[in-house]
Amino acid sequence: MKEQMKSMYDDLRNVVELPREVRRVVSIVPSLTESIAATDADKIVGATDWCTQPADLDVVRVRGTKNPDLERIRELAPDVVVANAEENRAVDLDALRDAGIAVWVTAPTTVGESLDSLGRMLSAIIGTEPPWLHEARAVWSAPYDGMRRRAVVPIWRRPWMALGRDTFAGDLLSRMGVDNVLSESGERYPRIELDALPEYDIVVLPDEPYAFSPDDGPEAFTKPAKCVSGRHLTWYGPSLVEARAVLSGQLA
């Protein structure tokens, strides 16, 4: 007898047909891998080479977010592949759909959207919202009422690129009193000229996607530079529980 299916909507309002009990998941987004593993690790059968959390995750690797091994994913016969509209290429997701594989796409651009997105995804795949997600909601519900600072937030060099408009990381920093001076940019990740930036107070240098460090990045700026955890700044998942405290310390 054919297994009964349920129809759900992902962040892009695509209808995703899932079995009543999802048993096999391939994740091609590191933060989503961590989110599912922290909730029900047994469901994950495949993940990218960049899925480093949790550290003891032992599943089949399917290359990267931009070049997933589509044939290997098909061989794993997942009930669903979880992806992200920004991190993964539409052509790869369409190829998986054409192969008859359900694809769930997330697309949050704010902290609030990320928490709601995770709630929908985990409810669809696991059947419930996990305790860590409730804890993250509580952590980020507290308003910021301290001094505000203006920042430039590079994400790459050679060429220099930075956070622009409508980014999750930009919204997260804003909730901590750090306003991105390029938030009105026409692009989400614009190229920048360091001598033509708007006035700013600090530079925020995450260690991913470019691995900025105290020895690689701060020397290019005359304003104070703060090296921060890229995972806590750009990942949405269990890291959100501790991100506010971790980044507050690094930005002090």
pLDDT one-digit tens code per residue, 177-196: 999 999 999 999 999 999 99
Per-position DSSP letters for 98-160, written without gaps between them:
HTT--EEEE---SHHHHHHHHHHHHHHHTSS--HHHHHHHHHHHSPP-S--EEEE-EEETTTT
* 229 and 150 within one domain: yes
Q: Kindly report the length of the chain.
A: 252
Q: What is the pLDDT of residues 48-91, one digit of tens each?
A: 999 999 999 999 999 999 999 999 999 999 999 999 999 999 99
- Helices 111-125 and 240-251 meet at what angle, rounded to 10? 150
Q: For residue 96, which amino acid is it?
A: L
Separation CA 31–CA 80 (nearest Å): 16
Domain shared by 15 and 123, yes or no: yes
Considering the domain architecture, whether residues 96 and 181 belong to the same structural domain is answered as: no
Enclosing domain of residue 51: 5-138
- CA gap 209, 114 in Å, rounded: 19
Mean pLDDT (the chain) is 96
> Are residues 132 and 9 part of one domain?
yes
β-strand partners of 5: 19
Whether the predicted model's global pTM rises above the 0.75 cut: yes
The reply to whether 86 and 11 lie within a common domain is yes
Band (pLDDT 50/70/90 cuts) for residue 4 is confident
Q: End of a domain among 138, 169, 184?
A: 138
- Which of 90, 110, 138 is a domain's end point? 138
Per the structure, the count of domains in the chain is: 2
Spatial separation of the C-alpha atoms in residues 183 and 165, rounded to whole Å: 4
Task: Look at residue 228 in the predicted model and tell me its pLDDT.
Answer: 98
- The H-or-E segment that residue 18 falls in is strand 15-19
| 99 and 169 share one domain | no
For residues 133 and 148, membership in a common domain is answered with: no
Vertex 230, ends 229 and 233: CA angle to 5°? 90
Number of alpha carbons in the 13 Å side-chain half-sphere of residue 77: 2
- Do 133 and 59 have their domain in common? yes
Judgement on whether residues 83 and 115 belong to the same structural domain of the protein: yes
- Last residue of a domain, which of 122, 138, 154? 138
For residues 21 and 114, state if they share a domain: yes
CB 155 within 8 A of CB 172: no
Q: Are residues 10 and 120 in the same domain?
A: yes
User: By percentage, how much of the chain surpasses pLDDT 90?
Assistant: 98
* Pairwise CA distance, residues 156 & 221, whole Å: 14
Beta bridge partners of 25: 44, 80
- Count Cα atoms within 13 angstroms, Cβ side, for 123: 13
Q: Are residues 119 and 173 in the same domain?
A: no
Find the CATH number of the domain harbouring 246.
3.40.50.1980
